[in-house]
Structure 1
Amino acid sequence: MPSDLQKKLQLVTAHRVVRNELASEIIENQSLFSELIELCFQFSNKSAPKAFWILELICYEKLEWLVPHLDFFCSNIKNLTHDSAIRPAAKIGLLLTISHFKKKEISLTENQLQQITETCFDWLITNTKVASKCYSIRALHLLGNHFNWIHPELKVILDKDYNNHSAAYKAVGREILKKINKQK
């Protein structure tokens, strides 16, 4: 029997107003957050990508709520296959790396940093949508300030793939390559 949250997720559409409504409801009732995380990774559930849409919106305001779930989140994002789930997961990965390295609000373990790194590289070199690749590039740039091997690897991939991608990918690629080259 589906829970109330599962029923609401089934009714969610891509319209931002609809997604915001459910995200606001969960922000007002934090006890639903753990269930939302679980639903994100129920790969057999057709609403799992929708759960990720909602999770992304919540993370903009309440990223700290993810802290008790970081091991679960970081170890499972590599298993995502649906582009509609990968894009928000990539954005959340970027938000986590920004919070860890720039804002110093959320502390990620070495293992979590490695899991995010591996997953971002996977998304970057496989056939995922451009938004996921762009979020991954930005996250990897930040992670490269911690793991010194990342920037050279990222540079090779960006140089090699640059001409085969969209304007958005090229814009992010140019920006990050400029930053990497400036750090030398």
Structure 2
Amino acid sequence: MTTDQLYKELNYVNHSREKRLHYANLVIDNPNLIPKLLDILFMVDDKISPRAAWVFEFMCGKNIEAAIPYLDTFTKNMHRVHLDSAVRPVAKVCEYLVTAYYAKTDNKIKYALTKAHQEKIVESCFDWMINDEKIAPKAYAMNSLYLLGKDYDWIHPELVMILERDYQMQSSGFKARARHILKKVKS
């Protein structure tokens, strides 16, 4: 399947779990589609970009290790994503990566996610925290930053400052996640 053919196929992806899962499985079964999917995801001004992001998120949710050969591409370009419906799944993929990296069980992400990748994730997560994003990307970013703060001692103080500063102006969902993260950081 060419990039153009995949682009046309992504027109059929909608918010339904069934469709996203169908295309995620297609990509998992055909790993040669992953770079094409990322090419479409990083067409950041295109209306199909979020659909590619949804499929990539579902693929990573099922098999995060399938993303390993593309970590450079993903982390190098993720900061460019700006459409709300694409930012959320990109932030979720970051959370998947960081969660796998800090998992108690051994996995390939622990060896593949380099300091350079982590720094790009930190940068994007802080951008999502301070920019006018919806609650979901902020929630995923909070969790990623909390975990990464275990290895980067400057992250927790910055995260706490942002959470405390923005607390009163944010939604109840943000407040609930922020309380949870603040409690973990302070314990």
Short-chain TM bin: over 0.9
- Residue type at the aligned position of 2:133: T
Q: List gaps (5 residues or longer) in structure 1.
A: none
Conserved in 1, the CA contact under 8 Å of 2:20 and 2:54?
Answer: yes
* 1:34 Cα offset (Å): 1.9
Describe the SS at the equivalent of 1:8. helix
- Aligned-residue identity in percent: 37
- C-alpha deviations, 1:46-90, integer Å up to 9, x for none? 211100000000001111111111111111111111111110000
Q: Structure 2 CA distance, aligned partners of 1:92 and 1:11?
A: 22
Q: Structure 2 CA distance, aligned partners of 1:2 and 1:92?
A: 22
Q: Residues 149-160 of structure 1 correspond to what in structure 2 (within 5 A)?
A: 149-160=154-165
- Residue type at the aligned position of 1:52: A
- Residue type at the aligned position of 2:152: F
1:85 aligns with 2:86: yes
* 1:11 Cα offset (Å): 2.1
1:144 aligns with 2:149: yes
Q: Structure 2 CA distance, aligned partners of 1:2 and 1:72?
A: 16
TM-score by length of 2: 0.92
* 1:176 Cα offset (Å): 0.6
Describe the SS at the equivalent of 1:93. helix
* Equivalent pairs, count: 182
* 1:104 Cα offset (Å): 4.5
- C-alpha deviations, 1:120-172, integer Å up to 9, x for none? 00000000110000000000000100100000110011111111111111111
- Residue type at the aligned position of 1:90: A
Q: Structure 1 CA distance, aligned partners of 2:72 and 2:28?
A: 21
Describe the SS at the equivalent of 1:162. helix
- Residue type at the aligned position of 1:87: R
* 1:21 Cα offset (Å): 1.7
